[in-house]
């Protein structure tokens, strides 16, 4: 099982590498708004493929053109390095 990151490690990662993310209820959270519904769906499909290849899956909420990603390691009970990696991949996919 992956090791939980400290609050300081998470804060540093957000500040330096993941500025569009925030911590809510012990999860990394980011919303992305696209121009059209299908653009959001395509983003979800891209992230789903990335997540499947990592065997690390985010919670995803789709509200018309806004997609919200919630990333945490459920087995570990919080945020791990795997979550930071997945968040970076989501950022890349979101453009």
pLDDT of residue 38 exceeding 90? yes
What's 2's DSSP letter?
P
Q: How distant, in Å, are the alpha carbons of 1, 8, 26, 54 from that of 90?
A: 22, 22, 18, 12
pLDDT of residue 4 exceeding 90? yes
What residue spans define the domains of the chain?
A: 7-94
Give me the residue label for tokens 């059209």.
Answer: 36
Structure tokens at 43: 């983003």
Percent of the chain scoring above 90 in pLDDT: 96
Q: Which CATH superfamily is domain 7-94 in?
A: Transcriptional coactivator/pterin dehydratase (3.30.1360.20)
State the Cα angle at 89 between 5 and 75, rounded to 5°: 40
Q: State pTM to two decimals.
A: 0.95
Give the tens place of pLDDT for each residue, 12-24: 999 999 999 999 9
Average pLDDT of the chain is: 97
Tell me if residue 90 falls in helix, strand or coil.
helix
Give the tens place of pLDDT for each residue, 80-93: 999 999 999 999 99
Q: In what helix (H) or strand (E) does residue 31 lie, and over which residues does it extend?
A: strand 27-33
**Residue 66: CB partners within 8 Å, gap ≥ 6?**
31, 32, 33, 34, 40
């Amino acid at each position: 099982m992956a090791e939980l990151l400290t609050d300081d490690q998470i804060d540093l990662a957000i500040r330096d590498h993941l500025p569009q993310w925030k911590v809510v209820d012990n999860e990394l959270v980011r919303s992305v708004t696209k121009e059209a519904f299908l653009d959001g769906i395509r983003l979800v499909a891209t992230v789903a493929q990335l997540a499947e290849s990592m065997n690390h899956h985010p919670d995803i909420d789709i509200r018309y053109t806004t997609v919200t990603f919630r990333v945490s390691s459920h087995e570990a009970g919080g945020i791990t390095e795997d979550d930071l990696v997945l968040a970076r991949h989501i950022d890349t996919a979101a453009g």
